Structure 1
Amino acid sequence: MHQFVIKLCSKSDRLQVLQDKMQEYIENGTQLGWLIDRKQRQVFIYRPNIAVEVLDN
């Protein structure tokens, strides 16, 4: 089990696939996840039982 996961989108990654994977990590016990999309300049913050937070720029 991971406590903290960071995923960085590459140019070839599909954002939806990574978002689904991050949600799966949270559902399986990860306490905090950051998904960083450099292209769109966004960070998605995942935590259990809390809506995904999106930070722009």
Structure 2
Amino acid sequence: MWKLLVAFIIFAALGLYVLKQAGGDVNMGGESHDVTGGHAASAPAAPAAPASAASQ
């Protein structure tokens, strides 16, 4: 039984090593939530009307 545990630990360590060497984005910090939602910045707002047109 202990051999299975040792084999699992070695296999997991080897997997993490390969992922890190291959440039994989390995994040061991748990769940992370992207506030922006992964979307690009929204389009800029329309320009404001000239002040002279607003006063009429």
TM-score by length of 1: 0.30
Query: Which structure has more helix as a fraction of its residues?
Result: 2
Instruction: Give the structure with the higher percent strand.
Output: 1
Structure with bigger gyration radius = 2
TM-score (norm. length: structure 2): 0.30
